[in-house]
Chain A
Amino acid sequence: MNLKELYQEIILDHGKNPRNLRKTDNYNKDAKGHNPLCGDNVHVFLKLDENKKVDDISFEGSGCAISMASASIMTDLVRGKEEVEVKEIVKDFLDMIKEKDELNSKLLTDDEKTKLMCLSGVKQYPMRVKCATLSWHTLTSAIDNSQEAINTES
């Protein structure tokens, strides 16, 4: 997929109308992320139920199409997953963006994998990788309850 196709798909599907761009009521975990190079900001809100399953996830923020689309796709597909499953998916995605050719997690459906692979186009643009991964790192931070804001430059 070339970049323009990537952009078109992401923009049409998620960048312009991000899913879950709101603040979850009664969230019990959250974290902030910031990419000072681009000025991208994201704040992820998580509501885990008593079985540590994601009852709701949402985000607030602003940034480039890639960062917004990535956060949108991410929040859509981790809802209903258990905390350990979320971590596995995050790891799988970050590994794919960093080095691997494909996604391996059995927790992802083919449709979900296709959506995530749209973002693999940023691999050839190292400066843009941070845009795609910001919300994912922020989700990890929320789950781990580390109170530190994620900063792509630190």
Chain B
Amino acid sequence: MNIEDIKKEFPIFDNKVQNNDLVYLDSANSSQKPKIVLDRIYDFYSKEFSNVGRSVHYLAVAATNLYENTRVSVQKYINAQDKNEIVFTKGATEAINLVANTFGQKYLDEGDEVLITELEHHSNYVPWHFLRKSKNIKIEFAEINDDGEITLEAIKAKITVKTKIICITHLSNVTGAILPIKEIVNFAHSKGIPVLVDGCQGAPHLKLDMQELGCDFYAISGHKMYGPTGIGVLYAKKKWLEDLPPYQGGGGMIREVKKKGISYGDLPNKYEAGTMATAQVIAFNESIKFMEAIGIENIEKHEKELLDYAIDVLGKNNSINIVGNPKNKGGVISFNIEGIHPHDIATILDEDGIAIRAGHHCCQILHDKLGLPATARASFGVYNTKEDIDQLNASLNNCKKIFNLK
């Protein structure tokens, strides 16, 4: 595949950022969008718009079909058994909140334990914390090893008879560690414990096969997959979606509403209350087609090459300390330069048109554990090149010069 051609599909790279060509190294935060996704939003609103699933007129039927087409695309993309196992949400955060809320309501009581890891993004901790407050449940943290990984053993060490659900990231947005999901799921299931996977970083970068992974829930963020903001997916095994109570109440999710009682709609409507992010869902189909056209194996291979190159280049640069050293690692590099605060690094790099992230990356638990108030982070997408990494390195050297570091 030709990266320069792929990059041309992203209009954002046509523009200068502060008179520089954009070097975008913040895809773990949110990815840029190809033109086909942007065009799809415009076309939908200008030619096909109507609300879905309600009216019977021509546009309503057309919009409903387009909306449902995305569901089928996602089902195929992640190899779910049934299209009704795909629930649209406003993002991965809402997908996790949906599970925490409904699973918590039905299956968690005082003293029960939810097992998460020290790598989790706040979105896979805070929703469970709500249950700690409201139901007095406990949250246990599987601990990272010195390489910033979570092993199956680390999970096993924290499982007790009280563990009711295990909620883990697929790929850490800080250390880049890819967790052994299949092994963890197999072990958890042998103990009768369901597993939720936060796939925010997994879905854009790794081949997904729900039958292979075997997890009960998988949360996906659309805007990290070259798609629009405001769209996410909760994959859940059908038995869970049938078993758990509804999440939000409103139009679209009901079957019959009487003064004395209400019955809820069938899947997937049961979990999609109110008017959904219709245009975003429809445009998300184009993101999936975009990734399919390149091939997730090619994306993985390209990002692995970038990662290896970046580790080599930055590793040779004195005074850059890379956080974590996982054997199985995705395209994320968090680092520090001794003597320069990460926010100062990010601001100085920004002057050169290089976009990185600095801070705790919504992972304060992990940063506390590492004893670091913040880190700088470069993360890759399909449009990045080795030249981007060379520019990053050159700009980091400039930072060191400004701060009088050797």
A interface residue numbers (CB < 8 A to B):
2-4, 7-8, 11-12, 16, 36-41, 62-66, 125, 128, 131
Contacts and interface: CB of A to CB of B under 8 A. Distances in A.
Given A11-B402, A39-B374, A4 B351 contact: yes
A71 B67 CA distance: 54
A2 B18 CA distance: 12
Closest 5 CB pairs of A and B: A39-B373, A64-B341, A64-B343, A39-B374, A65-B344
Given A64-B343, A128-B343, A3 B360 contact: no
Contacts of A131: 343
B364 interface: yes
Interface of B: 340-344, 347-348, 351, 358-360, 364, 367, 372-374, 402-404
Contacts of A66: 343-344
Contact of B347 (A16, A36, A39, A128): A128
Contacts, number: 54
A26 B348 CA distance: 40
A38 B347 CA distance: 12
22 contacts: A2-B351, A3-B347, A3-B351, A4-B348, A7-B344, A7-B347, A7-B402, A11-B402, A36-B364, A38-B341, A38-B342, A38-B359, A39-B359, A39-B373, A41-B373, A63-B341, A63-B373, A64-B343, A64-B344, A65-B340, A65-B341, A131-B343
Contacts of B374: 38-39
B343 A4 contact: no
Nearest to B375: A39
B105 to A, nearest CB: 30
A62 B342 CA distance: 13
Contacts of B402: 4, 7-8, 11
A38 B360 CA distance: 7
A128 B343 CA distance: 8
B361 to A, nearest CB: 11
A102 B359 CA distance: 30
Nearest to B348: A7
Contacts of A37: 359-360
Nearest to A5: B402
A36 B359 CA distance: 9
A11 B403 CA distance: 7
Contacts of B372: 39
B26 to A, nearest CB: 13
Nearest to B373: A39
Nearest to A37: B359
Interface-centre pick from B340, B347, B367, B372 (highest chain A CB count, 10 A): B347
B404 A125 contact: no
Contacts of B360: 36-37, 39
B86 to A, nearest CB: 35
A17 B162 CA distance: 53
Nearest to A40: B373
Contact of B404 (A11, A36, A62): A11
A36 B364 CA distance: 9
Nearest to A125: B347
A9 to B, nearest CB: 11
Contact of A38 (B340, B343, B348, B403): B343
Contacts of A16: 403-404
A7 B343 CA distance: 12
A74 B321 CA distance: 32
A14 to B, nearest CB: 13
Contacts of A3: 347-348, 351
